[in-house]
Amino acid sequence: MGGDLDRAVEILTGASRGCVFTGAGISAESGIPTFRDPGGIWERFDPAEVGTPEGLRTTLERDPGRLRSFLAETVATLERAEPNPGHRAVADLERMGVVDAVVTQNVDGLHTQAGSRRVIEVHGSLYRFRCLVCRETRSIERSRVLALGRALADDGVRGVAQALALLPRCACGAPMRPDVVLFGEAVQSMDRAFAAAQGADVLVVAGTSGAVYPAAALPREAKRSGAAVIDVNPGESAYGGLADVRIEGKTGVVLPELARRVAERGRGSAGRG
Ligand code: NAD
């Protein structure tokens, strides 16, 4: 990894419009399993049951206990999850003026919690709710969302009516659901994400399998617009033929090392004082 790390430090030191494109892998070290790695949540739960609007409705009607188990596991995982050194390094690179946008496929809010300011959440956020009728959205505090998840998991999900009764209400009076992109639903803020990638001088791909489109097309777009592409992943790279630099390693180890070395080269200071 030495030579590749040196090249990545070189590229980042000269950058001022960096874009970091993250996937489930960057939150793996916060204890949130990825979708496709062994031990991931999709080994135990079928996306068709709990990952689509239709699947959720059917599971709620036919097997609410199954949905309660999924919710209980998800809430327990999120309650333990804190930003890890990978998230914090991304925020440090933004403070140094190297990175100016984070495009994330994650819905866990950990980039914002780590201090990143310009975060484009293309698959939505668990901490924003959307009205089922008028589609108005509203941010809801993490502690309130987790309490709601716990209430639903403990007893609330016995049927559609009971579940709907527990959901927060919009100003229009209708129930609101988490504003996350389920399978088959439209991605969010994709125009902003493409603009960030196209305007970038470097795009760092951090912990994504590159399997979920259209977000997975961002590195190609960035490259086409002249950006250098750095891919950080301990597993197989989805961007082998495209990346200028490929670093095989966990983002929680590689990104802090990159941020530290870029700071040493005079681009501000990494880490909190
Ligand atoms: P994915 O599950 O398809 O792939 C995860 C990638 O992360 C793999 O390439 C894997 O090699 C890599 N990885 C595993 N551990 C890593 C580590 N410590 N450091 C760096 N990389 C690591 O995830 P994806 O590509 O993001 O796409 C799946 C979809 O699942 C996304 O749309 C995302 O919205 C959703 N998702 C989100 C979360 C979350 O919010 N934390 C968690 C699971 C899935």
CA-proximal residue: ligand 1, atom 31 (nearest): 105
Check pLDDT > 90 for residue 247: yes
CA-proximal residue: ligand 1, atom 40 (nearest): 106
Please tell me if the CB atom of residue 233 comes closer than 6 angstroms to any atom of ligand 1. yes
Please tell me if the CB atom of residue 106 comes closer than 6 angstroms to any atom of ligand 1. yes
CA-proximal residue: ligand 1, atom 22 (nearest): 25
Question: Quick one: tokens of 112?
Answer: 């914002």
Query: Is 123 among the catalytic positions?
Result: yes
Read off the pLDDT of each residue in 109-114 and give the average, rounded to a whole number.
Answer: 98
Percent of the chain residues past pLDDT 70, beyond the cut: 96
Check pLDDT > 50 for residue 105: yes
Read off the pLDDT of each residue in 39-60 and give the average, rounded to a whole number.
Answer: 86
DSSP 3-state percent helix, strand, coil across the chain (nearest 5)? 45, 15, 40
The active-site residue, picked from 88, 123, 261, 267, is 123
7 CA from centroid of ligand 1 (Å): 25
Note the pTM of the prediction, 2 decimals: 0.94
Please tell me if the CB atom of residue 247 comes closer than 6 angstroms to any atom of ligand 1. no
Tally of CB atoms within 10 A around 10: 15
Please tell me if the CB atom of residue 248 comes closer than 6 angstroms to any atom of ligand 1. no
Taking only the tens place, the pLDDT of each residue in 174-216 is: 999 999 999 999 999 999 999 999 999 999 999 999 988 999 9
Please tell me if the CB atom of residue 108 comes closer than 6 angstroms to any atom of ligand 1. yes
**Top mutation candidate among 26, 27, 35 for ligand 1, by most atoms within 8 Å of CB:** 35
Spatial distance between the Cα atoms of 258 and 273, rounded to a whole number of angstroms: 18
Q: Per-residue DSSP letters for 107-158?
A: -S-HHHHHT-SSEEETTEEEEEEEETTT--EEE--HHHHHHHHHHIIIII-S
